Amino acid sequence: MPQFDDRERAEEKKFSLDQEQEFKAQARRAKLVGRWAAGLMGLADGAADDYAKSVVIADLEEAGAEDLFKKVRADLDMHAVQLSDHQIRAKMDECLAEARAQIKAGT
């Protein structure tokens, strides 16, 4: 039985670590998307960083990525940036893949 308990603890630890890394990747994705959108809206330096932080906060409002999409979509519309929903979602997917790679690499 001790082997079973050890295996179970190891699986629980791995699951916990995977969940933590995914949370970090999603937060990093929000920051990357925020910086991308800030550039499209003409924000630079401190304003771009502040906007990226606001996107990260908005992404924590509800589960999933829909809150992130809604914020970026509304802000891009407000700044008359012409992008389709598909283009925004594709960038979100690209940023998530990049964020996961960064987290995995420890950068």
- Give percent of the chain with pLDDT exceeding 90: 66
Global pTM?
Answer: 0.84
| Confidence class for position 34, pLDDT limits 50, 70, 90 | very high
The mean per-residue pLDDT over the stretch 26-30 comes to 95
Q: Which CATH number fits domain 2-105: 1.10.790.20, 3.30.70.890, 3.30.1490.20, 3.10.20.600?
A: 1.10.790.20
Q: Give the count of beta carbons closer than 10 Å to the beta carbon of residue 43.
A: 19
Residue 53, token pair as written in the block: 């932080």
- pLDDT at residue 5, as a whole number: 67
- pLDDT at residue 9, as a whole number: 75
The mean per-residue pLDDT over the stretch 25-54 comes to 95
* Residues found in the chain: 107
Residue 73 has pLDDT above 80, yes or no: yes
- pLDDT at residue 46, as a whole number: 94
- pLDDT at residue 14, as a whole number: 72
Contacts 24+ apart (CB under 8 A), 80-86: 81/37, 81/40, 81/41, 83/40
Q: What is the mean pLDDT of the chain?
A: 90
The three-state DSSP-derived secondary structure of 3-47 is HHHHHHHHHHHHHHHHHHHHHHHHHHHHHHHHHHHHHHCCCCHHH
